[in-house]
Chain A
Amino acid sequence: MGASQTRTEHKYQDLADKTGFSLEQIENLHKRFQQLSDNEETISREQLDSIPSLANNPIRKQIIEAFFDKRNQHQNEVGSCEEIGFEQFLMVMSHFRPPSLKTTEEEKEAMRKEKLHFLFNMHDTDNDGTITLVEYRKVVEELLSKSGDIEQETVKAIADAAMLEVASTNVPHMAPDEFYEGITFEHFQQILKGLEMETRMHIRFLDVDTPTLRCGKSSS
């Protein structure tokens, strides 16, 4: 109680406005942050890497990298950090908030664009604004990395076919000698518009004060 408490609340209020989380959710996430960072102020890549349940995830590296990517901080910076603080942690998490019943159509559109941009940044590792074939191949390769021995040709074939599809849909008529540089963000939006990102890309953030690692309610 006292001055420190109000200061914390004030700090959280600031974050709540920025990210859209409720105060309780921020508290929960802060607890988790403390746990991950061993009560330090910042988290490094190694600490995220050491989460045991992440070990089985084929795209683990990309996920972790996304936390340290400055482009996801809504601040028009590029590059990556070495360590992130709680605010950056929250900003990344805020990409996964679900829409509520009150969000309007424009807000939903904006949300979808934001989420798609997050995905785009995950694929576009060299920050040049397009996903080239090489980068896309890497994506597919990572996706299939935990599925046993996959031949390189398959990976390339799948990535090629996907790329071809994007090109055909977005730039239908290309002369044989033209070259499709890569998937821009607009094209990316175009090909994924059927997936309705704003409703699919979310996780349930617990409202009530629960200890971590408790089974969450299944969403339906």
Chain B
Amino acid sequence: MPSRTGSHSPTGIGKSLPERGLLLLMVLVLLEGSVIPLGAASSPDTGHQKNVDNHKAEGEKNHTKKAFPVLDLDYRHIQTPFEISLWVLLASVMKLGFHMIPRLPGIVPESCLLITVGLLVGGLIKLAGEKVPPVLDSQLFFLCLLPPIILDAGYFLPIRPFMENLGTILMFAVVGTLWNAFFIGGLLYAVCQIQPANPNELHQLEILPCLLFGSIISAVDPVAVLAVFEEIHINELLHILVFGESLLNDAVTVVLYHLFEEYSAAGTVTVLDGFLGIISFLVVSLGGILVGAIYGILAAFTSRFTSHTRVIEPLFVFVYSYMAYLSAEMFHLSGIMALIACGAVMRPYVEANISHKSHTTIKYFLKMWSSVSETLIFIFLGVATVDGPHHWNWTFVTVTVILCLVSRVIGVVGLTCVINKFRIVKLTTKDQFIVAYGGMRGAIAFSLGFLLKKEEFPMREMFLTAIITVIFFTVFVQGMTIKPLVELLAVKKKQEAKRSINEEIHTQFLDHLLTGIEDICGHYGHHHWKDKLNRFNKKYVKKCLIAGERSKEPQLIAFYHKMEMKQAIDLVESGGGVNLPSAVPSTVSMQNIQPKKPPPAKPVEKALPKMTKGREEEIRQILRSNLQKTRQRLRSYNRHTLVADPYEDGFSELLIKKQKMIALEKKIKDMNYYLTVPAAPPDSPTMCRARLASDPQSYSSKPAMDRVPTIQVDLASPQSPDSVNLMDEFRRADQQEEDQGLTMKAPSGQSGFNRPGEADRGREQQKLTRCLSDPGPSADEEEEEEPFLP
């Protein structure tokens, strides 16, 4: 989800004022831009209307001959994409703006701010007398705005906690939502019936529309939950409980909604209908999951063959997932569950197959789309609030809000009593409070309400008003207060630490141990089945879906490789930095832990396990090419820089860097100890992952050397014919990489730099890729790096 660290203002208050002024100006310009086109068109951005307009215009033109228009304004031609882009731009600029205001993001969650902006924009549009684009009606919302958010959530879903708590999550999602729907619907009906004050209005409300309303309003919304929970960083268990519930209750909502909508016209629901409803629920949920899983497996299988066309790898992930969603929606199955299943199923296999860059691309694109979607959704909520036909009824609305809260609390408490009997890690009262308080409603409820037809539901506007009120209440009141409450109650927060190799070893050890103890005890428990699934996965599925050698790689080794790569990247990135890439800077090195051998004939370095020559060479290449780059930049600053590096300030800095380079050389030798990565066949993705150089994510916020790719014009030349063999590997892989950066040859005067102990490498190939100028995301994004094999 959206990174919260954002960009810092370069200096303090002094600079932020003009920036804010500029921002305000941009906002105004945008608003002008959005209002004027709305005025220019006779109707907002529905496709077929535009065609009708064009036809009319065409018909008129044929009669008279005009002078040839040198400059013409044809707004209708580009109207729809233009407006869409304007909205997206507005949303993004808003997001930027919030992070520039000093203390606001800490107090008010982004969702609140966005809704406020939406209200303002909606107000402006209404003042201008124009019609608001009906965005939150079905098509655009459900088909375009919702899927990216769900896919992002599903793809990065932490599988282990999700599966461990699946029973609890299902209980909350299914039973909890049912309870909410019936409780709210039933009590609302009762209240409406006993209402003496407005005899006409509320008495008209039948039981079935009430129940329908209850089912719409009862579902916890994933978008709202994500938006708020992202910012409060509570522990994993609570996060996955609330979030998982919001995802899985989609099936219940779909079934209840369709059930009550269908039969509202008829007026009665029989037992048979109820029974069919239950069956429908099973079909909807299991069918959705099945559809998602099928597409997920297809995607995994396709990714097995993409080793020669790395560029389009991310596309497969996105398109297959989207098609899973659409297919599920086609059959009225649960699209959200399909999307989650697709993302979760394909992820371990796809990640083993695709290149590192594709992985980064997928991650970035998903985050980007989901961020924009979420922003747009909240803005449009605000706009639709201003616009929508409202019918305020004090009783109805207040009773709804109160009932939502009450039913949520009762539901959570009641269910927890039952669930705790089956759980090992019981849910405490604090946990229950957070789960109850975190049950937010959002845009899905509003859209579902919007979809209702006025003819069948005369109380539609009243429903919409009540839904909006509940949404506002949960997002504003609950959203703003949950953070201080979490602090107040001292709820356990998310553990930021990355998993260490020791933890990984022992997690696996524990898994096997517990499976073994279960076998000795003789009952087939949780671990036994998990172990069976893992073995099945390893034996059959992985062989099918993962290309090449990686299909046989055990999880521990995969983890280890990943960790080593990260360490290597960190080390090189710190550019000869003082700290070793570990959380605790320490002077411990391999020498300290090697057992003392009776008289070591050679120095300790040689006593280390010898890694295969090829691997060693490769690692050296990587490191040196990174070094080359940094050196390159240093030298180019001196003589041939085309683009001045704004962050490099002064020769003294350069000298320091030069010294650091020398220190780094020494460290490369030490790297030998770290990077004992075994040989992998030359064309495995492991090698491709070894292209550390262009991984933008690993870049810390070190401004000096990495921002701007500097170009040495006179040294550019085609590939050196006498490159080392291994470089062929890189070249071949390079040529298929998407960013054909500028290729540079290292100047031959390299020997001036101190390179102790290395053999003559010859001239080497370098690629500067555009990725280098990409500042990496914040550190806590890295947690999602690891493949979550169950």
Contacts and interface: CB of A to CB of B under 8 A. Distances in A.
Contact of B595 (A133, A139, A216, A217): A133
Given A58-B512, A63-B516, A172-B587, A147 B424 contact: no
Contacts of A133: 593-595
B521 interface: yes
Contact of B526 (A29, A164, A204): A204
A167 B593 contact: yes
A20 B414 CA distance: 30
A156 B607 CA distance: 12
B262 interface: no
A160 B586 contact: no
Interface in B563-593: 563-564, 580, 582-593
A203 B582 contact: no
A164 B590 contact: yes
Nearest to B585: A172
Nearest to B519: A53
A72 B432 CA distance: 38
Could you tell me the dominant secondary structure of chain B's interface residues?
helix
B523 to A, nearest CB: 5
B522 A35 contact: yes
A206 B502 contact: no
A160 B524 contact: no
A218 B167 contact: yes
Contacts of B168: 220
Contacts of A51: 519-520
B269 interface: no
A110 interface: no
Contacts of B594: 133
Contacts of B426: 100-101
Interface string A181-207: 000000000011011000111111110
Contacts of A163: 593
Contacts of A81: none
A68 interface: no
B137 interface: no
Given A54-B516, A160-B676, A219-B423, A167 B560 contact: no
B420 interface: yes
B199 interface: no
A101 B423 CA distance: 10
A169 B510 CA distance: 22
Interface stretch (B77-85, B388-396, B551-559, B628-636): B551-559
Interface in B659-707: 673-674, 676-678
A216 to B, nearest CB: 4
Nearest to B679: A151
Contact of B500 (A165, A174, A200, A202): A165
Given A98-B424, A219-B422, A63 B517 contact: yes
B609 A153 contact: yes
B516 to A, nearest CB: 4
A132 interface: yes
B164 A220 contact: yes
B523 A212 contact: yes
B11 interface: no
Contacts of A191: 500, 502-503
Interface in B596-617: 596, 609-612
A144 B554 contact: yes
Contact of B509 (A99, A143, A148): A143
Q: Select the residue from B425, B506, B509, B673 with max chain A CB neighbours within 10 A.
A: B506
Contact of A179 (B423, B560, B596): B596
A32 B521 contact: yes
Contact of A178 (B522, B582, B592, B612): B592
B525 A204 contact: yes
A203 B587 contact: no
B554 A153 contact: no
B579 to A, nearest CB: 11
A173 B587 contact: yes
A210 B580 CA distance: 55
A15 interface: no
Given A35-B522, A143-B509, A154 B557 contact: yes
A175 to B, nearest CB: 7
A194 B588 contact: no
B514 A203 contact: yes
Contacts of A78: none
B556 A158 contact: yes
Interface in A30-69: 32, 35-36, 48, 51, 53-54, 56-60, 63, 67
Interface in B487-520: 495, 497, 500-503, 505-510, 512-520
13 contacts: A53-B528, A101-B426, A154-B560, A160-B593, A161-B560, A168-B586, A173-B586, A201-B510, A213-B522, A215-B523, A215-B524, A216-B524, A220-B423
Interface of A: 29, 32, 35-36, 48, 51, 53-54, 56-60, 63, 67, 93, 96, 98-101, 119, 122, 132-134, 139-140, 143-144, 147-148, 150-154, 156-158, 160-169, 171-180, 191-192, 194-195, 199-206, 210, 212-220
Given A204-B526, A214-B523, 13 more contacts: A54-B516, A54-B519, A100-B426, A122-B513, A139-B505, A153-B676, A156-B676, A157-B611, A158-B505, A158-B560, A173-B586, A174-B588, A219-B424
Interface of B: 164-168, 420, 422-426, 495, 497, 500-503, 505-510, 512-529, 531, 535, 538, 552, 554, 556-557, 560, 563-564, 580, 582-596, 609-612, 673-674, 676-678
| Smallest CB-CB A-B distances: 5 pairs | A220-B167, A147-B554, A172-B586, A157-B676, A216-B525
